[in-house]
Amino acid sequence: MLGDPDLTISHEQATNLVGSPAVQRLALDFFKQTGVPMVGHTAKRMPVEGSPWNLYIEPPARLVDASGTQTKPMSFRWINPSGVLEKHDVVDGSVLRDLGELCSDLARRHPITE
């Protein structure tokens, strides 16, 4: 999903990625088409009346209306660097939802055995 099967990111980078509202709500194609880096971007929710899911994302600086992605969210669970379980709501088609489904599929196909 990061563009190279050999690309590995740190736990800190992964924690930042998981916490990004852009990754929780936008599709992989958004990142590819706009040049927003998947790892290393910042995103903040900037709700305005009529568009409750406006996101300010950089680099490059842009305001994105992600309100159209308001489908029933799924919970993505992540253990942060402090060891605390976090839950993030993600929507259909988002990077994080796709990643969660990929992880679930891999876990089913390759169960841990003792």
> Distance (Å, rounded) from C-alpha 39 to C-alpha 42?
9
Domains of the chain, by residue range, sit at 11-109
Strand partners, 77: 87
Strand segments, DSSP code E, in 2-112 are 42-45, 54-58, 62-65, 74-79, 85-90
- Asked if residue 54 lies in contact with residue 76, where contact means CB atoms within 8 angstroms, the answer is no
pTM: 0.82
**Tens digit of pLDDT per residue, the chain (114 long)?**
666 777 788 888 989 999 999 999 999 999 999 999 989 999 999 888 877 789 999 999 999 988 766 566 788 889 988 999 999 988 888 999 998 888 889 889 988 877
Q: Rounded to 5 degrees, what are φ and ψ at 26?
A: -110, 155
Q: Residue 12 contacts by C-beta under 8 Å, 6 or more apart in sequence?
A: 81
Residue type for 53, please?
A: W
Distance CA 22, CA 45 (A): 9
What is the reported pLDDT for 42?
95
pLDDT of residue 2: 67
